[in-house]
């Protein structure tokens, strides 16, 4: 038994119940449905089946079989587990695992206008299996099809339950009974033995011949009615007629039967779509033919998908009287599999309980677009319009299967009958063939429309525009038609073509006066391909122009053709009459027939269906050039068609401009005497000169002619004249025309002019500019390396392009009409020799001594000296800045000694120069260079120039003072660098100078409490072998204990760090830094800083006040402060006393004394007897304690302070009563 497969993507079945009685209500003027059904012997209510195959499946090996069974009751349905997705607001998608062929859904609708759509595959992207619109409430809806994979609910509703039947359940059931065999209508004898395709067809109970079975299917399934009778109110549609099935069979046999038989017998089914069939076709209904190739299986499927009648005849559809409660299945059997060599396989498609068919919707958004015009094949006939109709293609996801469409056209103005835009069926031309509703994938994706093209309407030129009504109706797979959609459109003939002016020119004769006669020659053309002319008209106006081809100021088109300037603008048009004939006639001009390329004049007209060219020669023009060098003529042309209503075309969009120019030659007046110098050479070595001239009367432009001295001297006529004049003069060079040694430019020019005076030849001159120069000057170029005199002459050219006459023997100034230029040369001196030495001057320190010597060659007029400290800048003198000195002779700074000689260029006024330069002292080298300048010699076209610079000479002019070294400062940083840090700065260069390096020495010693010294640090350290490196460049740059260098934006900083451990017993740390420059000059800095050890803190113990009657008061105290001076200084006692009896009680009496200098207290001496306000005494130390006494006179306030040399202090105050 064959494997039975359901594949809705490759084998599709559609079914619907058509009630022709319901359809009849749309056609009240036609025969009733019951009458037509009675005539055919069928019911008015029929089930229509249509199916399609994927061409890649191929055609089956036996006719299709149609099966039916009673619709299954609810008990056999199986519940379906589903999943709900809500990807978009208001839309829910219900999906289950296995597709079904029948679906029953229980739906609760909470709001009106809910849509339920069943899809064969993925939602929104696959075919629609069914569609229901529901109102509020509980509903049970069913869908059937070859495959149902999901439903989409749009709106506020919920699915309470799903049940259904799988396709495999349906196709394997035993309830199915065979109903009909449907296949290709073939001749059984011719198809005998081709698989099982030669068997009888028809109902299983009434099998018959294939052709007869096809006619019976047609009788049952053909539509009762076609498209609607009216497009719109009172606008009838084209008549519809039912096709003759026998003629459809005949067309099928003629176009496909042989090709299908060849395909089936030579290829396995899966390769049917690759089979191509060739068929000859006549070209334009003539004797010649061409072959067209197509795939028969694809052609068969196209017909079955687009023509409901063809699908019935070709075996892809059938119909039965409708009986409710039946399911239907169609099977396609392949006896040897799809590859022709396998087990049998059978494809099946099922539809359950078909529902009533709905009328297709009318085409939406119908529009007509103008695509162009088709010109008539015969001249002076009518144009045909090309109009493209477009309307929305119904998406494949809708339940309507649009197969084809009908299209019609109605002419409203001028009126005519409705015309069908469909071609007739083959062998049945009076029956319109609906047009397949297919479109390309690219068009569908880009526009989403169906399209139709109308190329048949002939435009009436008398109606502008022609008004048309276009109408389109849809037909579905079952033969039901939609209402018509219509749209209006207008067409009209293209505008009348322009009579084109191809060219226009004046033929002007020169005259003694400014008024010149002229003829106007005009070439124009008319295209005879579509329309012949009634007449061609030419008008034009004359005007003053500043240059040829200049358009007129006013675009106004004149009434006639003006023939005098200046003169009246009015005139009569020039008319060439044809009246539709090939020959033309004209008054006031000569008409000639010209070949298409404009090169030949023809005796008879050129009779071609295309552009024809004519030439008009119009005499009698009078042009006055007194006020203008150019006279312009602006021309316009237009034509009139010969065909009624003889439309007149537009004038030319832009005028064709012709110009006549003054034909009289200008007269030159230029006179020039001397030789002029061109520019110095540019980057390419070329010399340039500005050539100017006075305005020449009557000239609108100028041409420049040029020659060289060499060409003039070698010209046969001029060379002979130069030799002749030299012989007559009796001077040098009587046998040559070349320039003589020692001649100046003036001498050379005089020789040339004398020769040109006698023989003003033109032959050596060539024209420089290709087009006239409109200004009064121009730049000329003398080539690189030229030593010749270059001669130029400027000739004017009139508006008529007539040049000035060349100077001849009648011109008394002929030799002076030429301008002479020469390329100057630069005579640069030889580079000078420079020497630089160092000179010691006590008051200035040092200075540079310079000695410069010039060399033979061009005479030096001045010397320039340059100086820089930047070595790279000294590579070129131009980067060394301005000169520091410019020397033209001896002065207070520079002494010049001339050099004499007898050879060329030996003598130099600036021979040897000596002097001094005092730059700022620096350890950097200073570079010197010198250049020499020569003067100008105009008589030989020589410019003074600058020599190459001398070699760069370098010298070091050191500073006048010893090296700078800032005072030393000390601090005690914390962290990693804790200890005592000493720092100083110096601008001295770290790198070795040309005279040698700077050197540094550092010594650090510690001073203890007993005054002894010991070394802490010394730099440089003595190496184990060799000489210590004491240069600044050798100083370390990493911070740490010892010496290091820090590079800063200004001066370099030198630091010395001494650890606290190394000076813990020192009360003072002394550092000495010595800096030495390369000349041996030194600078030294020394600093003492506090050490780590501390002195005993001063104290004031047991202070007492003792009154001495009649004398004063003694303030006494004890202290542990040492009496002898410490290594860093003594302790000091300070006393301040504000006496109440003092005339200035706010000013204290102050006494201060070092402890060693205070007198010892002696028993026989009374300190009160001393003539001083306060006396001090001390006792001898005992046990480290010393007693001090302060002798005061009077009452007041007392402040006593004891200061240590390290800054420590103790103080006490007392009130003395």
pLDDT band at 74 (very low <50, low <70, confident <90, very high): very low
Give the model's pLDDT for residue 75.
45
Q: How wide is the angle at C-alpha 688 spanned by C-alphas 686 and 691, nearest 5°?
A: 150
Residue 809: CATH number of its domain: 2.60.40
Task: Tell me what percent of the residues of the chain surpass a pLDDT of 70.
Answer: 97
Give the model's pLDDT for residue 98.
87
Q: Which of 53, 149, 51, 139 is nearest to 101 (CA)?
A: 149
Give the model's pLDDT for residue 270.
95
* Same domain assignment for residues 545 and 405: no
User: Residue 77 pLDDT more than 80?
Assistant: no
* Same domain assignment for residues 534 and 642: yes
This model's pTM is above 0.85: no
Structural domain including 795 reads 675-823
Does some domain include residue 1122? Answer: yes
User: Residue 444 pLDDT more than 90?
Assistant: no
Q: How many CB atoms lie within 10 A of CB 233?
A: 5
* Same domain assignment for residues 198 and 320: yes
- Choose the weakest-confidence range: 2-16, 810-824, 1111-1125: 2-16
Compute the distance between CA of residue 156 and CA of residue 463 in angstroms, rounded to an integer: 57
* Same domain assignment for residues 62 and 98: no
Give the model's pLDDT for residue 1094.
76
User: Residue 183 pLDDT more than 60?
Assistant: yes
* Mean pLDDT, rounded, for 1103-1116: 91
* Same domain assignment for residues 844 and 907: yes
* Same domain assignment for residues 950 and 819: no
* Same domain assignment for residues 906 and 1019: no
Give the model's pLDDT for residue 282.
64
Compute the distance between CA of residue 1055 and CA of residue 1064 in angstroms, rounded to an integer: 20
* Mean pLDDT, rounded, for 388-393: 93
Q: Which of 54, 573, 6 is nearest to 298 (CA)?
A: 54
Which of 823, 855, 890 lies at the terminal end of a domain, its last residue? 823
User: Residue 1092 pLDDT more than 80?
Assistant: no
User: Residue 1060 pLDDT more than 70?
Assistant: yes
User: Residue 2 pLDDT more than 80?
Assistant: no
Q: Residue 719 — φ and ψ, nearest 5°?
A: -60, -45
* Same domain assignment for residues 304 and 187: yes
Residue 107: CATH number of its domain: 2.60.120.260
User: Residue 626 pLDDT more than 90?
Assistant: no
User: Residue 852 pLDDT more than 50?
Assistant: yes
Per-residue tokens: 846: 């040092």
* Mean pLDDT, rounded, for 312-317: 96
Q: Residue 1050 — φ and ψ, nearest 5°?
A: -105, -115
User: Residue 933 pLDDT more than 50?
Assistant: yes
Does some domain include residue 962? Answer: no
- In the sheet that holds 1132-1139, the strands lie side by side as 1149-1154, 1132-1139, 1196-1203, 1209-1216
User: Residue 897 pLDDT more than 70?
Assistant: yes
Which carries the bigger pLDDT value, residue 81 or residue 403?
A: 81
Bridge partners of 930, per DSSP, are 865
Give the model's pLDDT for residue 578.
95
Which of 131, 166, 201 lies at the terminal end of a domain, its last residue? 166
The distance in angstroms from the start CA to the end CA of the chain is 147
* Same domain assignment for residues 742 and 843: no
Structure confidence by residue, pLDDT tens digits, 342-386: 999 999 998 888 989 989 999 999 999 999 999 999 999 999 999
**CB-CB contact of 632 with 542 (8 Å):** yes
Give the model's pLDDT for residue 287.
63
Does some domain include residue 360? Answer: no
Number of folded domains that form the chain = 8
* Same domain assignment for residues 714 and 738: yes
Task: Tell me what percent of the residues of the chain surpass a pLDDT of 90.
Answer: 66
- Choose the weakest-confidence range: 1-10, 551-560, 862-871, 1102-1111: 1-10
* Same domain assignment for residues 650 and 680: no
pLDDT band at 733 (very low <50, low <70, confident <90, very high): low
Structure confidence by residue, pLDDT tens digits, 999-1044: 999 999 998 887 788 999 999 988 877 788 999 999 999 998 999 9
Q: Which of 849, 855, 874 is nearest to 951 (CA)?
A: 874
- Choose the weakest-confidence range: 273-282, 839-848, 967-976, 1153-1162: 839-848
* Mean pLDDT, rounded, for 925-946: 91
Structure confidence by residue, pLDDT tens digits, 781-809: 999 999 999 999 999 988 778 888 899 99
Compute the distance between CA of residue 315 and CA of residue 385 in angstroms, rounded to an integer: 40
* Same domain assignment for residues 472 and 578: no
Does some domain include residue 964? Answer: no
* Mean pLDDT, rounded, for 954-962: 92
User: Residue 908 pLDDT more than 80?
Assistant: yes
Does some domain include residue 359? Answer: no
What rounded mean pLDDT belongs to the chain? 90
Structure confidence by residue, pLDDT tens digits, 491-527: 999 999 999 999 999 998 877 778 889 999 999 999 9
Compute the distance between CA of residue 269 and CA of residue 441 in angstroms, rounded to an integer: 26
Which of 1090, 1113, 1134 lies at the terminal end of a domain, its last residue? 1090
Compute the distance between CA of residue 132 and CA of residue 142 in angstroms, rounded to an integer: 9
**CB-CB contact of 44 with 33 (8 Å):** yes
Q: Residue 842 belongs to what H/E stretch?
A: none
User: Residue 144 pLDDT more than 90?
Assistant: no
Q: Which of 771, 503, 725, 447 is nearest to 617 (CA)?
A: 503
Per-position DSSP letters for 161-190, written without gaps between them = EEEEEEHHHHHH-TT-EEEEEE-----TTT
State the DSSP code for 229: S
* Mean pLDDT, rounded, for 945-949: 94
Beta strands in 973-1099 (DSSP E): 980-986, 999-1008, 1013-1019, 1042-1046, 1052-1058, 1066-1076, 1082-1090
Per-position DSSP letters for 806-832, written without gaps between them = PP-TT-TTGGGSSEEEE--EEEPPPPP
Residue 466: CATH number of its domain: 2.60.40.10
Does some domain include residue 1168? Answer: yes
Does some domain include residue 151? Answer: yes
pLDDT band at 147 (very low <50, low <70, confident <90, very high): confident
Does some domain include residue 670? Answer: no
């Amino acid at each position: 038994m064959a494997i039975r497969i359901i594949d809705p993507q490759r084998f599709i079945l559609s079914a619907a119940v058509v009630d022709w009685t319901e359809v009849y209500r749309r056609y009240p003027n036609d025969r009733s449905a019951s009458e037509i059904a009675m005539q055919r012997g069928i019911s008015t209510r029929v089930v229509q089946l249509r199916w399609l195959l994927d061409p890649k499946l191929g055609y089956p090996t036996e006719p299709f079989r149609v099966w039916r069974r009673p619709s299954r009751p609810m008990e056999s349905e199986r519940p379906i587990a589903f999943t709900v997705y809500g990807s978009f607001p208001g839309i829910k998608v219900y999906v289950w695992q296995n597709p079904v062929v029948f679906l029953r859904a229980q739906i609760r609708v909470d709001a009106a206008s809910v849509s339920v759509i069943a899809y064969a595959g993925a939602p929104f992207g696959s075919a629609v299996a069914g569609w229901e619109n529901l109102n509020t409430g509980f509903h049970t809806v069913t869908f059937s099809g070859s495959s149902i994979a999901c439903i989409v609910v749009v709106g506020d509703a919920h699915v309470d339950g799903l049940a259904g039947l799988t396709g495999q359940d349906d196709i394997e059931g035993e309830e199915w009974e065979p109903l009909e065999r449907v296949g290709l209508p073939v001749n059984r004898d011719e198809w005998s033995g081709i698989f099982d395709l030669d068997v009888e067809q028809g109902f299983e109970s009434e099998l018959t011949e294939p052709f007869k079975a096809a006619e019976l299917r047609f009788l049952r399934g053909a539509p009762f009615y076609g498209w609607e009778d009216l497009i719109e109110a009172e606008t009838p549609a084209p008549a519809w007629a039912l096709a003759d099935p026998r003629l459809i069979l005949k067309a099928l046999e003629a176009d496909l039967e042989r090709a299908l038989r060849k395909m089936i017998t030579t290829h396995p089914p899966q390769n049917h779509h690759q089979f191509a069939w060739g068929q000859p076709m006549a070209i334009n209904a003539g004797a010649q033919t061409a072959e067209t190739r197509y795939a028969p299986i694809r052609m068969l499927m196209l017909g079955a998908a687009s023509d409901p009648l063809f699908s019935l005849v070709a075996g892809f559809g059938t119909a039965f009287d409708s009986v409710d409660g039946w399911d239907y299945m169609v099977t396609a059997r392949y006896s040897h599999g799809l590859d022709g060599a396998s087990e049998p396989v059978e494809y099946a498609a099922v539809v359950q309980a078909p529902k009533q068919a709905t009328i297709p919707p009318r085409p939406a958004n119908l529009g007509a677009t103008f695509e162009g015009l088709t010109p008539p094949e015969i001249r002076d006939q009518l144009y045909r319009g090309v109009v493209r109709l477009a309307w929305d293609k119904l998406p494949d996801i809708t339940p309507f299967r649009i197969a084809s469409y009908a299209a019609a056209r109605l002419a409203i103005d001028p009126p005519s009958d409705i015309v069908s835009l469909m071609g007739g069926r083959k062998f049945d031309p009076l029956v319109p063939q609906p047009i397949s509703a297919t479109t390309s994938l690219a068009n569908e994706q880009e526009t989403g429309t169906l399209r139709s093209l109308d190329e048949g309407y002939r435009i009436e030129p008398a109606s502008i525009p022609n008004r048309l009504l276009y109408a389109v109706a849809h037909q579905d797979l079952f033969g039901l038609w939609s209402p018509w959609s219509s749209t209006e459109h207008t067409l009209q003939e293209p505008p009348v073509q322009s009579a084109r002016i191809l060219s226009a020119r004046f033929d002007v004769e020169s005259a003694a006066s400014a008024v010149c006669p002229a003829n106007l020659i005009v070439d124009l053309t008319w295209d005879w391909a579509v329309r012949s002319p009634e007449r061609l008209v030419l008008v034009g106006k004359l005007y003053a122009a500043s240059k040829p081809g200049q358009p007129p100021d006013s675009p106004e088109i004149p009434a006639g053709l003006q023939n005098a300037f200046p003169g009246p603008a009015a005139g009569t048009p020039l008319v060439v009459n044809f009246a539709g004939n090939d020959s033309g006639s004209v008054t006031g001009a000569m008409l000639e027939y010209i070949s298409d390329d404009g090169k030949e004049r023809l005796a008879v007209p050129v009779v071609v269906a295309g552009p024809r060219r004519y030439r008009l020669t119009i005499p009698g023009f009078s042009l006055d050039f007194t006020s203008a060098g150019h006279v312009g003529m602006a021309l316009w042309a237009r034509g009139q068609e010969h065909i009624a209503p003889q439309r007149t075309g537009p004038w030319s969009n832009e005028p064709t401009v012709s110009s006549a120019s003054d034909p009289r030659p200008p007269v030159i007046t230029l006179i020039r005497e001397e030789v002029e110098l061109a520019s110095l050479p540019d980057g390419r070595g070329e010399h340039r000169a500005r050539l100017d001239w006075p305005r020449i009367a009557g000239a609108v432009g100028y041409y420049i002619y040029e020659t060289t001295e060499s060409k003039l001297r070698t010209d046969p006529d001029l060379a002979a004249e130069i030799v002749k004049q030299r012989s007559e003069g009796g001077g040098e060079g009587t046998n040559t025309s070349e320039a003589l040694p020692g001649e100046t430019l003036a001498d050379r020019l005089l020789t040339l002019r004398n020769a040109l005076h006698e023989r003003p030849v033109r032959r050596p001159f060539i024209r420089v500019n290709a087009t006239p120069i409109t200004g009064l000057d121009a730049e000329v170029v003398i080539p690189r390396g030229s030593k010749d005199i270059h001669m130029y002459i400027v000739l004017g050219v009139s508006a008529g392009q007539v040049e000035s006459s060349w100077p001849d023997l009648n011109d008394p100034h002929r030799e002076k009409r030429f301008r002479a230029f020469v390329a100057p040369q630069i005579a640069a001196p030889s580079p000078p020799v420079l020497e630089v030495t160092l000179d010691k001057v006590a008051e200035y320190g040092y200075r540079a001594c310079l000695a410069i010597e010039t060399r033979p060659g061009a005479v030096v007029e001045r010397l320039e000296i340059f100086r820089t400290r930047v070595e790279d800048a000294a590579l070129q003198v131009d980067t060394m800045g301005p000169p520091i000195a410019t020397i033209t002779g001896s002065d207070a700074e520079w002494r010049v000694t001339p050099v004499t000689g007898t050879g060329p260029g030996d003598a130099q006024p600036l021979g040897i120069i000596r002097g001094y330069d005092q730059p700022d002292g620096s350890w950097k080298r200073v570079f010197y260079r010198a250049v020499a300048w020569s003067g100008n010699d105009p008589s030989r076209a020589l410019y003074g120039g600058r020599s190459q610079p001398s070699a760069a000479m370098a010298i070091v002019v050191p500073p006048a003072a010893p090296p700078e070294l800032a005072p030393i400062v000390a601090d005690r940083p914390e962290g990693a660098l804790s200890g005592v840090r000493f720092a100083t700065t110096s601008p001295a260069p770290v790198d070795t100078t040309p005279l040698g390096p700077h050197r540094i020495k550092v010594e650090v010693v510690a001073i203890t409490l007993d005054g002894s010294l010991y070394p802490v640090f010394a730099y440089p350290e003595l190496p184990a072998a060799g000489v210590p490196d004491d240069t600044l460049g050798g100083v370390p740059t990493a911070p740490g204990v010892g010496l290091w260098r820090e590079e800063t934006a200004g001066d370099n900083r030198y630091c010395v760090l001494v650890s606290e451990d190394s000076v813990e017993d020192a009360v003072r740390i002394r550092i000495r830094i010595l800096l030495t420059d390369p000349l041996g000059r030194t600078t030294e800095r020394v600093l003492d800083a506090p050490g780590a050890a501390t002195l005993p803190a001063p104290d004031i113990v047991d202070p007492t006040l003792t009154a001495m009657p009649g004398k004063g008061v003694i303030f006494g105290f004890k202290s542990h402060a040492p009496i002898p001076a410490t290594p860093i200084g003594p302790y000091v006692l300070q006393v301040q006393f504000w006496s109440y009896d003092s005339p200035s009680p706010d000013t204290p009496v102050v006494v201060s004394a070092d402890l060693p200098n205070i007198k010892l207290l002696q028993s026989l001496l009374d300190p009160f007897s001393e003539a001083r306000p306060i006396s001090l005494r001390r006792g001898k130390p005992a046990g480290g304690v010393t007693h001090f006494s302060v002798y005061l006179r009077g009452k007041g306030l007392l402040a006593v302070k004891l200061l240590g040399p390290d800054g420590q202090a103790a103080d006490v105050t007392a009130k003395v009563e």
